[in-house]
Amino acid sequence: MTPHNEASKGDYASTVLLPGDPQRAEWMAQTFLEAPRCVNRRRGALGFTGLFRGKPVSIQSTGIGVPSFLVYVHELLDFYGAKTLIRTGTCGGLTAEMALRSLVIAQSVRGENAESGQIFGLYRADADPDPVLLAQALARASELGIDHRAGRTICSDIFYHPQGRERFAEAQAQGALAVDMETSALYRIAADFGARALSILTVVDNVATGEQTDYSERQGLFADMTRLALDLAAES
């Protein structure tokens, strides 16, 4: 066990999907995995392990934002031996072309500013997804007919920002597709541990248009993202 996780060594598979919301983790496990079992309930951060196409796969919720995310992912990498991490999260679209419910595959990521996502300088400032996972995700999403785009995303530590939408003007001008709160941390810590990582995000609101999905749609809103992530997990 760790201070934040009651699972024993061996309870997690080497490939772990990382939703933020514990309810989404539970829905994903119960909907898509064979024989899922709950391996962690501590602090409500639900974790599950089961089989997908006969291969062990785990799903661990991580909470909101970089600090919470890094606690769970660090322990997965350092204590539980995870080797492949696939974020299955939500994001806000930054262009009018990013349709609600479509997917963003984070081909590159940067912090919203020089300090954003920096945890005492411990992890590399810039890192990229695993190129094989990225190529597989793009190919498989096209095969499945999933509405998706790949490109740059940005990572923000602040959800309710006093500047509102205006703070994204620079990122929008530079062609960023979406904003979330965890992807930069995922790519940095994975690079630090020599693990493979990819972030797949579902657009739940759009900064440019003001549109947003209704929470009542969840969790079915995430079916395409989950299928794609599990397809990658089965090939890992």
Angstrom distance (rounded) from CA 194 to CA 192: 6
Would strands 47-52 and 103-111 be described as parallel, antiparallel, or unpaired? unpaired
Amino acid letter, 204: V
Angstrom distance (rounded) from CA 25 to CA 175: 31
Angstrom distance (rounded) from CA 150 to CA 214: 24
From the candidates 21, 157, 192, 205, which is the catalytic residue?
205
Which H or E element spans position 77? helix 66-78
11 annotated active-site:
no
Angstrom distance (rounded) from CA 63 to CA 26: 13
Angstrom distance (rounded) from CA 26 to CA 20: 11
Q: How many contiguous H segments (helices) and E segments (strands) does the chain have?
A: 6, 9
117-150: b (≥16 Cβ within 10 Å) or e: bbeeeebeeebebbeebbebbeebbeeeebebbb
Which residues are designated catalytic? 205
